Homo-oligomer: A and B are copies of this chain.
Amino acid sequence: MSPRRSAAEALVTRARILSRAAAIASEEGLDGITIGRLADELEMSKSGVHKHFGTKETLQISTLDKAFVDFWHQFVEPALTEQPGLRRLRVLCDNSVRYLTEPLLPGGCLVTASLSEYDGRPGAVRDAVVEVWSRWQEQLRADLVVAVERGELPGRFDVEQALFEILAAGFALNAAMQLQHDQAAPGRARLAMERALSQP
């Protein structure tokens, strides 16, 4: 009753599935993704959805990857034109605050949510979460290191401490937005990040 589609159309279908899955996962977690529910909302059959990934675990990981790629495209890549070091770092911080304040997904940042959802559950999903999270950390660390090398930050500057505090501000911002819709939180996060860069 439903004929095979072209390879190009299949890619579109796959994208539709991942898009819906990411929206669901951002609100209910990667475990909230359900093949039956996706099939319902996308008006296709369960087996049709399933075929694209073969395994629910693969679907979850693909969803996480998709969300991360979208974030990267919209909030990291634009910053890469900036001068590496303190300038670029500040833009990245600002972009991440904007992202966490008005996320691409209805339930907020999927990576942040998946972090605590899967930190205690070994397996491929957890590995994917850790990898994606590390990539974001590395991006920030790289610019911190460059900033020190270029003398934009004092030579005795504690890069790891600053990184810790920047990530911390992101976590707190995410929680404040998702839990309490605290409109003051973005400003506090910005200030906290700025303070992280001005070590005594």
Contacts and interface: CB of A to CB of B under 8 A. Distances in A.
Interface centre among A120, A133, A174, A189, by most chain B C-beta atoms within 10 angstroms, is: A120
Interface stretch (A4-12, A21-29, A83-91): A21-29
A120 B177 CA distance: 11
Interface residues of A, number: 42
A113 interface: yes
B178 A120 contact: yes
Contacts of A44: none
Tally of this chain's copies: 2
Interface string A31-45: 100000000000000
A47 interface: no
A97 interface: no
A171 B169 CA distance: 9
A160 interface: yes
Contacts of A174: 116
